[in-house]
A = this chain, B = another copy of it.
Amino acid sequence: MKQMTSRQSEILEYLRRFIGREGYWPSIRDVQEHFGFRSTNAVMGHLRALERKGCVSRIPGQARTFRLLNDDGLPAGTIETETIPVYGSIAAGYPDRVESSGEVGRLLVDIHTANIRRGGKTFALKVTGDSMIGAGIQSGDMVVVHPGIPRDGDIVAALIDGETTLKRYVHPRGGTPYLKAENPSYPELYPTTELLIQGIGRAVIRNL
């Protein structure tokens, strides 16, 4: 992004605050009035400059149609976030994202914090039991889970006998994969009928 004059930053900042506060964009005359200009053209000049410098984009001729752009020229103001449904337990198959059956809440986090990619069918589970205590996952913790193919050592949400459990996925070279609890008092789980991995654990969130 090119160098901006102080006046131009002021205008940009006003736009940012306005949309944040009101939820819609200001009109040219809203900007004019706020800065005390006696002509709308003062605003126009600055907007042209901001557009030229790639900070803002607009739809010509249409009212209150701004877009804030960042350095890459992509729509900004939006740290990439995801709204993730939280399930207490999952019965079978992938949980339907729209359906709220068993959904006990939602969490909104940015994708870096949750360690996920966008647009996936990410979901979260509320952990019960102490089988993963050795990995620092306690009862009541929330685990963010992303569908995918697990690798040896990943913590996964797996479906065994119609119920979801959180375990470590172990896949020895040349052997068959199994599940391992991180607690000496729990046995290893070898797949009897099938081993359905619902997702790979990406993050743990705990409220203290």
The reply to whether the CB of A190 lies closer than 8 angstroms to some CB of chain B is no
> Considering the chains assembled together, what is the distance between the CA atoms of A73 and B61 in angstroms?
33
The reply to whether the CB of A113 lies closer than 8 angstroms to some CB of chain B is yes
Partner of A79 from B62, B65, B108 at Cβ < 8 Å: B108
Q: Taking CB as reference atom, which chain B residue is nearest A83?
A: B79
Interface 9-mer from A46-54, A95-103, A133-141: A133-141
The reply to whether the CB of A107 lies closer than 8 angstroms to some CB of chain B is yes
- Other than the given A23-B68, A24-B24, A133-B136, 11 more pairs (CB < 8 A) read A22-B65, A23-B77, A24-B64, A27-B63, A108-B109, A108-B110, A109-B109, A109-B110, A109-B113, A203-B207, A203-B208
30 contacts between A and B (CB under 8 A): A22-B65, A23-B66, A23-B67, A23-B68, A23-B77, A24-B64, A24-B65, A24-B67, A27-B63, A63-B64, A79-B83, A79-B106, A79-B108, A105-B112, A107-B110, A107-B112, A108-B109, A108-B110, A109-B110, A113-B205, A133-B136, A136-B206, A154-B208, A155-B208, A201-B208, A203-B206, A203-B207, A204-B204, A204-B205, A204-B208
The reply to whether the CB of A202 lies closer than 8 angstroms to some CB of chain B is yes
Q: Taking CB as reference atom, which chain B residue is nearest A138?
A: B136
The reply to whether the CB of A75 lies closer than 8 angstroms to some CB of chain B is yes
> Considering the chains assembled together, what is the distance between the CA atoms of A65 and B21 in angstroms?
12
Q: Which of A24-81 contact B (CB under 8 A)?
A: 24-25, 27, 59, 62-68, 75, 77, 79, 81
* A residues whose Cβ falls under 8 Å from a Cβ of B: 22-25, 27, 59, 62-68, 75, 77, 79, 81, 83, 105-110, 112-113, 115, 133, 136-138, 141-142, 154-155, 200-208
Oligomeric state, in copies = 2
B208 touching A205, Cβ below 8 Å: no
> Considering the chains assembled together, what is the distance between the CA atoms of A108 and B27 in angstroms?
29
A23 touching B155, Cβ below 8 Å: no
Q: Taking CB as reference atom, which chain B residue is nearest A204?
A: B206
Given contacts A109-B108, A113-B107, A136-B136, contact A24 B208 (CB under 8 A): no
